[in-house]
Amino acid sequence: MYGTQGKLDIAFEFQSQIPILRPSIHSRRANITVKFQDLYGFTVEGNVDDVNVLNEVREKVRQQGRVWWALEASKGANWYLQPSISEGIALKSSLKLSVLANAITLKRLIRKGIPPVLRPKVWFSLSGAAKKKSTVPESYYNDLIKAVEGKVTAATRQIDHDLPRTFPGHPWLDTPDGHAALRRVLVGYSFRDSDVGYCQGLNYVAALLLLVMKTEEDAFWMLSVLVENVLVNDCYTNNLSGCHVEQRVFKDLLAKKCPRIAIHLEELEFDVSLVATEWFLCLFSKSLPSETTLRVWDVLFYEGAKVLFHVALAIFKMKEEELLLTHHAGDVINILQKTSHHLFDPDELLTVAFEQIGSMTTNTISKQRKKQEPAVMAELDQRLRRLNSIKIDDK
């Protein structure tokens, strides 16, 4: 979709990708709802305050872009790919300090956002997708797509059913070319990983990856590393056991990090999985504005799946006082949906996620998962037994 470009061309493209949104004078005066397109082609509805927030965010993106370009100029184009201390490579103490400084700089920079034009190559490198791709023949993706062409499975039938429902109205995704590209990525992956096959939710994730990565093959490898390495095991398998584990872990974390909210929701008999399941399966791609979602993914591909818990908790935390006034489950859902759909300022969200929610290590979350796994498997086994008994009774 995009050819090779020189740095000057990329810099111009970077600037042109970030337009200033200008609602009409009448809209500004009346403060009515306005529609506009975001950087990735999605039509967004919001008021003029939302437009002003987006303009401020895009100015920050420009400033952040200048920081990245300056680092590339001083340290080299791939400065962020220097070996880390944790990789077990023998380094001199002076080099260790340099690597550590780079790691701290990189973490801070990524949390502030990767410039859109650099996002494809930074994601591909830091996520492990490039390394995963390097372990197979260069023609792997094309050979796979040719080999599965025309084959019909339960997964391909579900994919065909979901294609028109994946971001309908998008100027490229909702076209024959967009559907065809998304289908090839999803069908290809369904044959690569038969344990996963296809799960609803992956269509939204893969569609957004296509928009960012520009090529089907790169989107395919990003989807592969996401499902196989970044996220918890079995998140998208047939019984969604991994997703069920994440929901239980999230409920526990909500009780620890936002105890007042957790107690109130328990009194309302509100199950947080009613909203959080979609967040975790679609990685917020259906809930947050796309530019905010991709800021979350910037951190996700570098820091891992713990980021999803940080962000989910932050959405609850940001509306704590409002949520404590609710009397019905429906009110809770409405507040959370309205909040997530209008989170146009990713800095506000990520500041709450990492500064107010506090530290959560990957090791801590792994322990929580292991604690919850037996209960989830027992629950799924019991559900399967009930289904089998119903089938026997029906015969």
The predicted model gives 138-158 an average pLDDT of 97
pLDDT attached to residue 392: 62
- Beta bridge partners of residue 36, listed in sequence order: 44
Helix (H, G, I), strand (E, B) or coil at 128: coil
Cα–Cα dist 257/68, whole Å: 34
Name the average pLDDT for the chain: 88
**394 pLDDT higher than 80:** no
Report in angstroms the alpha-carbon separations of 192 from 147, 148, 155, 342: 11, 10, 12, 36
The string of pLDDT tens digits covering residues 200-225 is 999 999 999 999 998 999 999 999 99
Contacts 24+ apart (CB under 8 A), 125-128: 125/78, 125/80, 125/81, 126/80, 126/81, 126/301, 126/302, 127/222, 127/225, 127/226, 127/229, 127/230, 127/301, 127/302, 128/225, 128/229, 128/230
325 secondary structure, DSSP code = T
pLDDT, position 368: 94
Cα distance between residue 265 and residue 274, in whole Å: 12
The proportion of the chain whose per-residue pLDDT surpasses 70, expressed as a percent, equals: 86
* Cβ-based neighbour number of residue 388 at 10 Å: 10
Predicted local distance difference test score (pLDDT) of residue 391: 60
* pLDDT for the residue numbered 51: 85
Q: Which residues contact 123 (CB under 8 A, 6 or more apart)?
A: 114, 129, 212, 213, 222, 297, 298, 301
Q: By the 8 A CB rule, do 268 and 328 touch?
A: yes
Q: What is the CA radius of gyration of the chain?
A: 22
pLDDT, position 40: 92
For position 39, what pLDDT does the model report?
87
pLDDT score at 144: 98
For residue 93 the two structure tokens come to 């103490």
Transcribe 217-269 into DSSP letters: HHHHHHHHHIIIIISPTTSSSTT-HHHHHHHHHHHHHHHHHSHHHHHHHHHTT
Q: What is the pLDDT of residue 372?
A: 95
Burial category of 273 from C-beta neighbours within 10 Å (exposed 0-12, middle 13-18, buried 19 and up): middle
Residue type, 221: W
Q: How confident is the model at residue 81 (pLDDT cuts 50, 70, 90)?
A: confident
Q: What is the pLDDT of residues 228-276, one digit of tens each?
A: 999 998 999 888 999 999 999 999 999 999 999 999 999 999 999 999 9
Spatial CB neighbours of 202, under 8 Å, sequence gap ≥ 6: 186, 189, 196, 223, 227, 236
Give the pLDDT of residue 28: 43
**If DSSP codes are grouped into helix, strand and coil, which group holds residue 354?**
helix
